[in-house]
Amino acid sequence: MTFSKEEDKLIQDCLRGKKKGQKKLYEKYAAPMMGVCLRYLKNTTDAEDALQDGFVTVFRKINQYKKQGPLGGWIYRIMVNTALAHLKKKNKVVFQEKFNNIDSENQIVSENQIDHIEFSQEILMEFVRALPDKYRVVFNMYAIDGFKHKEIAESLGINENTSKSNLLRARKILKHKIGIYLNELEQVR
């Protein structure tokens, strides 16, 4: 994989511990990585803490970056792992807690209707952020970050069936919230 001279210089400066290079790397990737942290952590303060810790890890482990994929992808993976570590550390994720199941009889909107509706990214991410931690994390890891259930289970210390169940419940909650949203839109029209 080839890198631009600018990106290669950033990597070299970071390897040498140059603050100016670290600052440029941070400025280049901070905003998109903050979005990653916000998907996993509900409040901005926690996401900012994870972002800072993630960049400390990036700068500390930049020598482990093998240039086999995009630098942004490598940083992205560190941010996901850092956000997950923050969740675990703060005991916010309790994966085996009871859940009031939303049964399909109370489903306000069908899957076919959802497939044909366009939402702004902000509205959809608002719905995702409102999910209970255990469902939000699994939904993000599976649906957005492309992890397999086995990887999710290993990363979170749960079994694969729990991962699958949490994803299913996240989807049910999201469908329910979307249905409510659509009903509210219809009433306004």
Does a structural domain hold residue 47?
yes
Encode 79-101: b = buried (16+ Cβ within 10 Å), e = exposed. Answer: bbebbbebbeeeebbebeeeeee
**Does the pLDDT at position 185 exceed 80?**
no
Contact indicator for 58, 80 with CB cutoff of 8 Å = no
Tokens of 98: 């009871």
pLDDT at position 50 is 96
123 shares its domain with 184: yes
Q: Encode pLDDT of 136-159 as tens digits.
A: 999 999 998 999 999 999 988 899
CATH assignment of the domain containing 21: 1.10.1740.10
3-state secondary structure of 97: coil
C-alpha distances out from residue 53 to 63, 89, 167, Å:
17, 13, 27
Last-in-domain residue among 34, 62, 89: 89
CATH assignment of the domain containing 108: 1.10.10.10
Last-in-domain residue among 22, 54, 89: 89
73 shares its domain with 24: yes
pLDDT at position 120 is 64
Last-in-domain residue among 65, 89, 113: 89
Q: What is the value of pTM for the model shown?
A: 0.70
pLDDT at position 1 is 56
108 shares its domain with 184: yes
Of the listed ranges 2-6, 26-30, 63-67, 81-85, the least confidently predicted one is 2-6
In which element (H, E) is residue 181 found?
A: helix 160-188
73 shares its domain with 121: no
Does a structural domain hold residue 96?
no
Does a structural domain hold residue 64?
yes
Does a structural domain hold residue 29?
yes
84 shares its domain with 112: no
Task: Residue 38: give the domain boundaries.
Answer: 5-89
pLDDT at position 7 is 83
82: confidence class by pLDDT, cuts 50, 70, 90: very high
Residue type, 176: H
Does a structural domain hold residue 111?
yes
Average pLDDT, the chain: 82
**Residues 1-18, mean pLDDT to the nearest whole number:** 83
Give the whole-angstrom CA distance, residue 114 versus residue 96: 29
- Which of 2, 25, 5 is CA-nearest to residue 15? 25
Q: Encode pLDDT of 26-69 as tens digits.
A: 999 999 999 999 999 878 999 999 999 999 999 999 999 988 88
3-state secondary structure of 94: coil
Contact indicator for 47, 29 with CB cutoff of 8 Å = no
pLDDT at position 105 is 36
108 shares its domain with 77: no
125: confidence class by pLDDT, cuts 50, 70, 90: confident
In which element (H, E) is residue 144 found?
A: none
- Which of 149, 31, 155 is CA-nearest to residue 88? 155
**Residues 12-37, mean pLDDT to the nearest whole number:** 93
pLDDT at position 91 is 52
The domain total for the chain is: 2
Does a structural domain hold residue 140?
yes
pLDDT at position 106 is 38
Does a structural domain hold residue 168?
yes
Q: How many CB atoms lie within 10 A of CB 67?
A: 13
